[in-house]
Amino acid sequence: MSTQHPFQAEVAQLLHLVTHSLYSNKEIFLRELISNASDACDKLRFEAIENGALYEDAPTLEIRVSYDKAGKTITIEDNGIGLSLEEAIENLGTIAKSGTREFMQRLSEARRNDAKAEGALIGQFGVGFYSAFIVADRVTVESRRAGLPPEQGVRWTSEGTGSFETETITRAKRGTAITLHLREDAGEFLSAWRLKAIIGKYSEHISLPILMPKETWDKDKNEYVTSDEWEQVNAASALWSRPKKDVTDEQYIEFYKQLAHDGDAPLLWSHNRVEGATEYTQLLYIPSKAPWDLWNRDKRGGLKLYVKRVFIMDDAEQLLPLYLRFVKGVVDSADLPLNVSRELLQESRDVKAIREGSTRRVLTMLDELASSGDEADRKKYADFYREFGAVLKEGLGEDFANRERIAKLLRFASTTSDDVAVSFADYKARMKPGQKAIYYLTADSLVAAKGSPQLEVFRKKGIEVLLMTDRVDEWALQFLHEFDGTPLQSVAKGAVDLGELEDEAEKKAAAEAAEAMKPVVEKLKTVLAERASDVRSTTRLSDSPACLVVPEGAMSPQMVRILKQAGQPVPDTKPILEINPGHGLVKKLHGLIGTEGPFADLAHVLFDQAVIAEGGLPDDPAAYVRRVQAMLG
Ligand code: ADP
């Protein structure tokens, strides 16, 4: 007796997308289903470490792919862990992954804008099991979970529309057989040659044998006929365990695509056998595009852990720090025990060594690219940086041991370059004689940064300032106080001290101007007592009347805005107002010193304009507008 179940709403949506938009690359269904079959075998092997009886009488794990030309079906069968009735209902009727809703939303946005972007998104997500419906209008899954008696098998059937049916069956074999009843337009896949070609392309290096019925030429019938004999159609050698020299670039790329469920080739990779206190093989890939959920810090890492070629776990987050979560690949340890658990991984010294080694490897790989003499490599690095640069910066706060190496990899725009291409080293090489610090400014956007009044004196003196516009910059930079012996100094924090970059005459003139402005400064302190923690005369401005700076060590207004947007509590620090004694409006203020209302109005307007200039909004916009209108009138 069968029972009908509705699909979870997201699955129904996903199925709709799958059946309507994946026709351009139909063949990936086989990669996805073989990958699931291989995962199911890996799971069995893992569970069997504790319970050998799960192997029943079939200890050789394998995947079989066959087709029936007359019946128009393809069957993918594995003898892995299998599914119980409950698991079939749960796993083949919902999408367990977090972030699915967001994914669906992005997908339909991409769909409206650009069909290609949509394809790439689906590729990243890996539609998994549901990709069966790209080629099939009916799918039957028969399965039995390893360890359950034969009568507790399950049959799952669906036409990929709103619902699926399940029933209990008797199934002698453990594991799962998925039968695809092909759509009219998918007849091309009823060919051994075609299926072998797809397996060769995507699944050559999964570590399990994939078998297909052997075909022989029948002279009388003048066609190929299937025999009862099965033959292995893939190499089934774990790619990473082969010597580098025996692996071609194409093989590395295909392996990546299936490992990462990514349609694009990786940007670069590194394959090494590490020997020493702990022995392991690492094959690390850097994708060419950031995944849609790169910003999800809860997302697990992208490395699969194997022990002596036995799969242990996916997404082993202990193997790389969080800021390298975009790296994909495989680590195969020769030393860890097979029954290692996630908890155990946390304490293992071998894992610590692997983590350090892999981190160094990734950073070295990036550094080689960034500092390569080859133009094409540097362009690749720029591509990498555009996709992942902001995540890399998190490393400044997360990985103190490698802070210097990370800092070396960072790139910024500056007052001399709109491209995000200036490294700290480039900057240092261009520093003026007598310049003591690396100057930088954080802002919400490049336009806001370039228009900032704080840059005026630096422009006038031809001193380069790095312009940082990533949200993480301000946070990350607080962990980096210097680069290669030169301190970093925010131009929006504390007083400017250009030291030897100012000559005696300038210093004297500034001191005199400040002296002359003393009464204005004192009166401003009273009038703006609620808004400014201090008021002072400055030399940093040439064209603007005033600007805001924050005390050394305090949070910038930009950081405060970010935290407020994120709903975080923020300390209420008042900024310092700096005024330009040479500016007409400040001189006007000096002239108004004997008045109350007019002085206060101009003072508030100058303060509000300083807020606007650094990307904020006046606390009381209406009052600001009223004051400016009164002055204009
Ligand atoms: P994913 O594999 O990314 O988790 P899928 O949609 O491909 O997502 O599969 C959903 C779930 O169905 C899997 O996580 C697994 O639990 C189960 N499943 C799919 N194929 C098999 C199989 N061949 N054997 C056992 N379980 C399977």
Please check the confidence at residue 270 and state whether its pLDDT lies above 90.
Answer: yes
Out of 221-225, 315-319, 372-376, pick the least confident. Answer: 315-319
* Residue 186 falls inside a structural domain: yes
Q: Do 207 and 282 reside in the same domain of the chain? A: no
Alpha-carbon distance 315 to 320, whole Å?
10
Please indicate, yes or no, whether residues 253 and 203 belong to a single structural domain of this protein: no
Question: Is residue 547 within 8 Å of residue 454, measured between CB atoms?
Answer: yes
More confident residue, 341 or 6: 6
Per-residue pLDDT for 107 more than 70?
Answer: no
- 155 occurs within a structural domain: yes
The CATH number given to whatever domain includes residue 198 is: 3.30.565.10
pLDDT at position 300 over 70 = no
- CATH number of the domain to which 539 belongs: 1.20.120.790
| Span 521-531, pLDDT tens digits | 999 999 999 99
Helix 597-613 and helix 518-527, axial crossing angle in degrees, nearest 10 = 80
Q: Are residues 435 and 512 in the same domain?
A: no
pLDDT: which is higher, 364 or 456? 364
Q: Is the CB of 129 under 6 A from ligand 1?
A: yes
pLDDT for 126 beyond 80: no
Per-residue pLDDT, averaged over 116-121, amounts to 59
Q: What is the pLDDT of residue 68?
A: 94
pLDDT score at 299: 61
Calculate mean pLDDT across residues 487-507. Answer: 78
Cβ 146 vs Cβ 44: under 8 Å: yes
- In sequence order, which residues have a C-beta less than 8 Å from that of residue 496 and are 6 or more positions away? 457, 538, 539, 540
The pLDDT score that the predictor gives to residue 262 is 80
- CA separation for the pair 471, 135 (Å, rounded): 44
Residue 65 pLDDT exceeds 60: yes
Residues 597 and 495 in one domain: no
Q: Cβ contacts of residue 576 below 8 Å, gap of 6+?
A: 532, 533, 534, 535, 536, 548, 549, 550, 551
* Residues 270 and 418 reside in one and the same domain: no
Q: Report how many domains make up the chain.
A: 4
The runs of H, that is alpha helices, within 399-503 are: 403-409, 424-429, 446-450, 456-460, 473-477
Confirm whether 388 is domain-assigned. Answer: no
Cα–Cα distances in angstroms (integers) from residue 261 to residues 128, 176, 197, 251, 329, in the given order: 9, 22, 18, 15, 12
Q: Are 143 and 171 in contact (CB under 8 A)?
A: yes
Task: Indicate which CATH number applies to the domain containing 478.
Answer: 3.40.50.11260
Residues 459 and 447 in one domain: yes
Average pLDDT for the chain: 87
Q: Which residue, judged by its Cα, is nearest atom 25 of ligand 1?
A: 82
Q: What is the pLDDT of residue 321?
A: 92
Q: What is the DSSP letter of 550?
A: B
Check residue 272 and give its pLDDT: 95
Flag whether pLDDT at 393 surpasses 80.
Answer: yes
pLDDT at 11: 85
Contact criterion met (CB below 8 Å) for 578 and 538: yes
Backbone angles phi and psi of 149, in degrees to 5 = -70, 160
Same domain? 225 vs 261: no
Of the residues 17, 39, 89, which should be mutated to test ligand 1's pocket, given the most ligand atoms within 8 Å of the CB? 39
- The answer to the question of residue 35 being in a domain is yes
- Compute, in angstroms, the gap from residue 39 CA to the centroid of ligand 1: 8
More confident of the two residues 46 and 494: 46
User: d(Cα 245, Cα 38) in Å, to the nearest integer?
Assistant: 26
Structure confidence at residue 625 (pLDDT): 94
Q: What is the mean pLDDT of residues 48-54?
A: 89
In a domain, 403, yes or no: no
Instruction: Give nearest CA residue, ligand 1 atom 10.
Output: 91
Q: Tokens 């030897």 identify what position?
A: 500
Instruction: Answer whether residue 119 shows pLDDT above 60.
Output: no
Return the minimum-mean-pLDDT range out of 352-356, 550-554, 576-580. Answer: 550-554
Do residues 36 and 128 lie in contact, with contact meaning Cβ atoms separated by under 8 Å?
yes
SS3 230: strand
* Domain co-membership, 495 together with 511: no
Ligand 1 near 176 CB (within 6 A): yes
Task: Grade residue 362 by pLDDT with cuts at 50, 70 and 90.
Answer: very high
84 Cβ inside 6 Å of ligand 1: no
Q: Where is pLDDT greater, at 363 or 631? A: 363
End residue of a domain, out of 479, 500, 521: 500
Query: Which of 183, 202, 232 is the endpoint of a domain?
Result: 232
Residues 79-99: what's their mean pLDDT?
A: 85
Does the pLDDT of residue 133 top 90, yes or no? yes
The residue range of the domain holding 292 is 239-375
- Residue 624: how many other CB atoms lie within 10 Å: 19
How confident is the model at residue 144, as a pLDDT? 98
476, pLDDT greater than 70: yes
- CB-based contacts of 499: which residues, under 8 Å, 6+ apart? 434, 436
Distances (CA, A) of 190 to 135, 140, 186: 11, 17, 8
Average pLDDT on 535-551 reads 88
The residues near 469 (Cβ < 8 Å, ≥ 6 apart) are 413, 442, 443, 444, 445, 446, 448, 449
Task: Answer whether residue 45 is part of any domain.
Answer: yes
| Per-residue pLDDT at 558 | 73
pLDDT of 549: 87
Q: Say yes or no to pLDDT of 359 above 80.
A: yes
Judgement on whether residues 47 and 181 belong to the same structural domain of the protein: yes
Residue 226 lies in a domain: yes
Report whether pLDDT(97) > 60: no
Domain boundary among 208, 232, 256: 232
Q: Are residues 211 and 123 in the same domain?
A: yes
Question: Measured from the CB, is residue 83 less than 6 Å from ligand 1?
Answer: yes
User: Is 92 close to ligand 1, i.e. is its CB under 6 Å away?
Assistant: yes
Pairing between β-strand 546-549 and β-strand 486-490 as defined by DSSP bridges = unpaired
Question: Would you say residue 568 has pLDDT above 60?
Answer: yes
Residue 570 or residue 143, greater confidence = 143
Decide if pLDDT at 450 tops 80. yes
* pLDDT value at residue 12: 85
Model pLDDT for residues 611-632, shown as the tens digit of each residue = 998 778 898 999 999 999 998 9
pLDDT at 379: 93
Give the predicted TM-score (pTM) of the model: 0.68
- 329: domain CATH number? 3.30.230.80
**Stretch 544-568: mean pLDDT:** 80
Res. 110 pLDDT band, cuts 50 70 90 = low
* Distance of CA 91 from the midpoint of ligand 1 (Å): 6
Give the residue with greater pLDDT, 588 vs 97: 588
At residue 24 the predicted structure's pLDDT band, cuts being 50, 70 and 90, is: low
Predicted local distance difference test score (pLDDT) of residue 334: 85
- Highest-confidence range of 11-25, 120-134, 249-263, 412-426, by mean pLDDT? 412-426
What's the rounded mean pLDDT across residues 129-153?
95
Judged by average pLDDT, the poorest of 209-223, 257-271, 494-508, 575-589 is: 494-508
At residue 344, φ and ψ (nearest 5 deg) are -65, -35
pLDDT per residue as tens digits for the range 158-178: 999 889 999 999 999 999 999
Kindly indicate the confidence band of residue 21, based on its pLDDT and cuts at 50, 70 and 90.
low
What proportion of the chain, given as a percentage, has pLDDT over 90?
52
Task: Please name the residue that has the structure tokens 């990350």.
Answer: 476
530 and 450 in a common domain: no
- Assess whether pLDDT exceeds 60 at residue 56: yes
Q: Tell whether the model's pLDDT for residue 605 goes beyond 90.
A: yes
Whether ligand 1 lies within 6 angstroms of the CB of 136 is answered as no
pLDDT in tens, 426-441: 999 999 988 889 999 9
Q: In this predicted model, which residue has the larger pLDDT, 411 or 204?
A: 411
* Residue 339 predicted with pLDDT over 70: no
The answer to whether residue 208 is domain-embedded is yes
Residues linked to residue 39 through DSSP beta bridges, in sequence order: none
- Among protein residues, the one with the nearest Cα to ligand 1's atom 20 is 36
Give the residue from 360, 363, 380 showing the smallest Cα distance to 372.
Answer: 380
Task: Please state, as a whole number, how many other Cβ atoms lie within 10 Å of the Cβ of residue 187.
Answer: 12
What's the pLDDT band for 387 if we cut at 50, 70, 90? very high
Nearest CA to ligand 1 atom 3: 128
Name 491's Cβ contacts closer than 8 Å, sequence gap at least 6: 439, 440, 441, 454, 455, 458, 465, 540
Cβ-Cβ contacts under 8 Å for 424 (sequence gap 6 or more) = 407, 408, 410, 438, 483, 484
Q: Is 78 in the pocket of ligand 1 (CB under 6 A)?
A: yes
Mean local confidence (pLDDT), 212-221: 89
The reply to whether 585 and 613 lie within a common domain is yes
| Cα–Cα dist 107/117, whole Å | 9
> How close is the Cα of 97 to the center of ligand 1, in Å?
11
